[in-house]
Homo-oligomer: A and B are copies of this chain.
Amino acid sequence: MKIVLSQLNYTIGDLKGNVSQMVEHVHRAKQDGADLIVFCELSICGYIPKDMLNYESFITRCYEALDDLKSHANDIAIVVGMPTRSGLVKGKSLYNSAVVLADGEVLQEVHKTLLPTYDVFDEYRYFEPNTNFKLVEYKGVKIAITICEDLWNLNEPYLYATTPMDELIGLQPDIMINISGSPYSYNHVEERKNRMVANAKQYNLPLVYVNQIGAHTDILFDGGSMFINQTGEIAEELHYFQEDYRCVEWSKDEIYPDNSHDYKDEDIELIHDALVMGIRDYFGKMGFKKALLGSSGGIDSAVIHALAAEALGPENVLAVLLPSKYSSTGSVVDAEALAQNLNSPYKVISIEEMVNVVENTLSPHFEGYDVDVTEENIQARSRGLLLMALSNKYGSMVLNTSNKSETAVGYATLYGDMCGGLSAIGDLYKMQVYEMARYINRDKEIIPNEIINKAPSAELRHDQKDSDSLPPYPVLDKILMLYIEKQKGWTEIVDLGYDEELVRKVIKLVDRNEYKRFQAAPILRISNLAFGIGRQMPLVGKFYN
């Protein structure tokens, strides 16, 4: 049996576009003499259309798109992902399904059993879980089809009472197919491979695993589809962050030869590729070609500038230098050098006159009050206003320049440096931003070393350094990682040897700045716990007392 693994980039809701690119792969598969082609989870509509699924008319359109695809299902069977109507009187009205097409008709529907509802996933919001287990038989081969999460309840932590393959194995399948919508995070690639290999070994069956690529704003799909033979060897592994097509041949009687290659690049390389794809895909799907950003001569804006230049072309990224009286000379010089290294256009616009007028306008109303953070925020918001005006006028999108460390502790000004349509490094702690800068400079000095070596500063008052108000980043990042990713309480973190006063201060900063993150730009997700939909905290509330 020849099986094609089709790894594509889908657009949510673009049913015609999605089907049309699937049809291209179907034609190619027919030319290759394939018996079966497999697309990923919810491939008809893109993963996941969220509340579009509540629209009856949207589901109707999905069925119409399936009809289009059916007409190509001759001389080949097609496995495609889509929401299907459950028809239940009691229970939710939809299933998350794999639909098998053959001879121009629906041969069978298989529904997802385990509905991830945690982190960035909310499938139980929409779908009824499957409770009825059966195989699909095609050309004499008995196939156990599952959908993504269905194969993840094999080892601890067991998040569900049921393990679907334990139900299916009794029906004696010959092969497993899993259609997936599995997003990237830097510690997810290895885990995914381990889990899928464990399934092949546990059930002594080969596994066809098909994922997707592309960015749906914050969620980055990395691909990495696989064919794993029944001894658990990865016989074929498709590309990461690129569309791909692979035809594998398999017979009931032989074990597919092992020609696996281990994927062993360091995390930072894949994170880099993930962010470049994330920026490129968000701009593409939103219909934007050009970006601009406030370039301060600091490490954050430098890294974003370099990533955006790679994603969009350097000529499409405008660096706007917005010095004030507190900016060091180095700031402007370093940002200029960066733009020149990248071959990007840049502008220098002083904010001084604007800040003066704002302060004059407000001075009668500030009488009797001390100078405080207000004046710093006025500078940040003046910059935000100018960047937004330029983006309106030029039809480009502002790239937000916040990193995860400052987003966590609220070291940013709402509507000021928090402005922008997309946060490209909002899931990178400050120390990871430095790592990324070094990776960008791996072949030559793109980001000037002066930028990498200077002490971080917001430059909103004289001689300001981040370290005036924040602990050193290596310490801060570790505490944040424990509190955010590892979900440790303050006593647990103190028990690990961190200073109690410091831990309490950091956690308090994270908690009290929830309201700022509520209004933050969407963040490209590269960790297993990013700010945004993956971390949902009350705005009002005390985190125990």
Q: Taking beta carbons and an 8 Å cutoff, which residues of A are in contact with B?
A: 11-17, 46, 48-52, 54-58, 61, 88-92, 115, 117-118, 122, 124-125, 128, 153, 158-163, 215-217, 281-282, 285-286, 347, 349-351, 353-354, 357-358, 360-362, 365-366, 369, 372-374, 377-378, 381-382, 384-386, 388-390, 392-393, 414-415, 419, 421, 487-492, 515, 518-522, 533, 535-545
Contacts and interface: CB of A to CB of B under 8 A. Distances in A.
Given A415-B384, A541-B285, A543-B52, A158 B361 contact: no
3 nearest CB pairs, A to B = A57-B489, A12-B541, A374-B392
B347 A357 contact: no
B353 A372 contact: no
B382 A365 contact: no
Nearest to A218: B539
A544 B374 contact: no
A285 B162 CA distance: 41
A52 B488 CA distance: 10
B374 A358 contact: no
A376 to B, nearest CB: 9
Given A46-B541, A51-B535, A353-B360, 15 more contacts: A11-B541, A13-B544, A14-B545, A16-B545, A50-B538, A52-B543, A52-B544, A57-B491, A117-B122, A217-B539, A281-B540, A286-B515, A361-B386, A372-B393, A522-B539
Contacts of A216: 538, 540-541
A121 to B, nearest CB: 9
Contacts of A492: 57
A90 B51 contact: no
Given A54-B487, A385-B382, A386-B358, A13 B541 contact: yes
Contacts of A118: 125
Nearest to A356: B357
A121 B162 CA distance: 24
B378 A389 contact: yes
Contacts of A14: 541-542, 544-545
A227 B529 CA distance: 44
A389 B362 contact: yes
Contacts of A539: 217, 286, 522
A522 B538 CA distance: 11
Contacts of A153: 90
B347 A358 contact: no
Contacts of A388: 377, 381, 414-415
Contacts of A12: 538, 540-542
B161 A90 contact: yes
Given A50-B536, A122-B536, A88 B161 contact: yes
A163 B91 CA distance: 11
Contacts of A521: 518-519
Given A51-B536, A124-B117, A415-B388, A544 B58 contact: yes
A491 B282 CA distance: 29
Contact of A125 (B51, B122, B160, B215): B122
- Which one of A17, A91, A350, A519 has the highest number of Cβ atoms from chain B below 10 Å of its Cβ? A519
B415 A389 contact: no
B347 A353 contact: no
B515 A13 contact: no
A513 to B, nearest CB: 12
Contacts of A365: 347, 349, 390, 393
A147 to B, nearest CB: 17
Contacts of A159: 91-92
A431 to B, nearest CB: 24
Contact of A282 (B91, B122, B163, B540): B540
Nearest to A369: B393
Contacts of A378: 385, 389
A53 to B, nearest CB: 10
A90 B114 CA distance: 12
Contacts of A52: 537-538, 541, 543-544
Contacts of A535: 51
B15 A544 contact: yes
A540 B11 contact: yes
A506 B541 CA distance: 37
A130 to B, nearest CB: 12
Contacts of A414: 388, 419
